[in-house]
Amino acid sequence: MSQSLLYPKASVSRRVVDLCGFWKFQFDPENKGGAEGWTTKLPSPVSMPVPSSFADFFTDKDSREYTGDFWYETEFFVPGEWRDKEIGIRFAAAAHRAVVFVNGREIAVHEGGFTPFVVPLNGAVKWDEPNILVVKCNNELREDRIPVGVTATLQNGRKMAKPYFDFFNYAGLLRPVTLLALPKEHIADFTVRHELKGADTLVHYSVETTGDNVVNLAVFDEDGKQVASASGKDGIVSIDNARLWNVRDAYLYKFVFRILDGSAIIDEYSEDIGIRTVEVRGTDILLNGKPVYLKGFGKHEDSDSNGRGYNPAVIKRDFELMKWISANSFRTAHYPYSEEIYQMADREGFLVIDEIAAVGMMTSTLNFMDAANGKPTAFFQKETMPQLLQNHLTAVEELIRRDRNHACVVAWCLANEPETTDESALPYLEKVFARARSLDVQKRPCTFTSLMTATPDKCKCVQLCDIVCLNRYYGWYVKGGYEIGEAELWFRGELEGWRKRCTDKPFVFSEYGADTDEALHKLPSVMWSQEYQTEYLEMCHRVFDSFDFIKGEQVWNFADFMTVEGIMRVGGNKKGVFTRDRQPKAAAFYFKNRWESLPGDYKDNRNKR
């Protein structure tokens, strides 16, 4: 079976079986599972829902904080009538690495906890009888893997994750697991690129298959009417009077690809696709040739009990809240999200800055403080860089292969807060940017988010970015509380420096925010009160509104989220505009008023060129 990252869909030629539910689960703190035969049967398992993160189900701290190997086991059945098909199991995400065994035989190894992989089964399965599926996962953090951190061993022998990032290291089989049956000759992948020609659109497409038969493409509108067709693995379809995909005004065409042998369908795969273009021109971000101003959030896949596990109910609630507050965008901080979130963004017309899991590229377990005080860590000078780079490049490839046909994805974020004050970051990131640009036929803008100390005079890598994304916390980590007036002066001073250095790039504030206790009210305001959060946001927005090259604001964070415990974190990060259970703080109503009043093309500079 090809390593296709296409979303699993049943069709006239394809079969998809959901393997989610309660699986057997067992920790392996002594790393003895392989030697003791756990590859065929777990000796003392408990029940574990799949998909989910395992941490928040338990009532003892050792289980919640568990770091190391852990195992899953389940049974699946493969009918004999599938003997002539390619059989595989698709894992939508297994954090952070996985080894897969079928009937005791090792079948596959995958590194990276946020993108899918397919395990081929032909030759390993038993037909018409139960098969044993066992997965050994590992959630240890290392400096040669992303997300980046280290793993410590305590005096009692227990391992402990020490992340270089500020969110909880949730792990497990986070997203759905499915059994696939595809034709031997099947559609493995495809790409589309859109070209606007007046009222019409040309869609350039390319299809990868595992055989040589003819490929046909048919395009249907939302009423089911066929509007275009073409033949060949590579080609162009013209759609007359195409209805374009727009911000909060989505329209999706159904693209149906078929491999044909005469009139017989060998394989069929369909995808709902929005037709739109995205580019950066000067300081404007253009969607379909028109300026757009980003209003939205940095987010997390994070919810009570389920952790980072796939949660369709929370996904639905989040989109309804974003629509209510008049947002139009979000960033997938700090990893690729569940595929269903992008499908929802396509359907609802939200713009997505799609981020890879390259977070923690600064040697610090208190990165949120060290990023603000300028502590040098020489991260990119470490001996682990060659292996980290290879893992980073692989993750970029998997991200772009998975998400490149989504209309909602308008930019690639290739790292979050790397230590770009060090010259050694430049050759590393040059390779990452080059790989991303070589893979995306739509040539979306590429960026990374800039840490607080990477000021205009110190950042060595900003020239790589098509859009400059700044994470800034003036008024919180720097000059907070009574000094907020001085924070505004410092903030404006930095932006004047950026105005001089980057005269032809749009800027987006990808993070800004203040921790807020939902129950704390103070008059006059103090830090952590709801009043201070609003006061802080008003200051930031005064600054944003003063500079015409700032083309977006994505506040940190959409909702409160879990982190490691510590004296700076009370039950997690509290910078949410909404609480972790998705109820509004006072800031939510402030944002609703602001964003409803801002036009979609706010700061349109076309008349100034």
C-alpha 587: how far from its chain's center? 25
Contact (CB, 8 A) for 364 and 376: no
511 counts as catalytic? yes
Give the amino acid at 267: D
| Beta-strand relationship, 446-450 and 409-416 | parallel
Let me know: does 251 contact 231? Beta carbons within 8 Å.
no
Closest alpha carbon to 456 in 407, 490, 497: 497
Residue 472, amino acid: R
Both tokens of residue 576? 């949410």
Omega of the bond prior to 147 within 30 degrees of 0, cis?
A: yes
| Alpha carbons 358 and 431: distance in angstroms, whole number | 14
User: Do residues 77 and 168 lie in contact, with contact meaning Cβ atoms separated by under 8 Å?
Assistant: no
The C-alpha atoms of residue 119 and residue 122 are separated, in whole angstroms, by 10
Residues 140, 339, 355, 511: which is the catalytic one?
511
Q: Contact at 8 Å (CB) between 209 and 186?
A: yes
Instruction: Decide if 417 is catalytic.
Output: yes
Q: Rounded distance, CA 310 to CA 343, Å? A: 14
Tell me how far the alpha carbon of residue 410 is from its chain's centroid.
Answer: 13
Catalytic residue among 417, 419, 518, 553: 417
Lookup: tokens for 338: 């569940």
Give the integer Cα–Cα distance in Å for 469 and 332.
13
What's the Rg (C-alpha) of the chain?
24
Q: Which residues are catalytic?
A: 417, 511
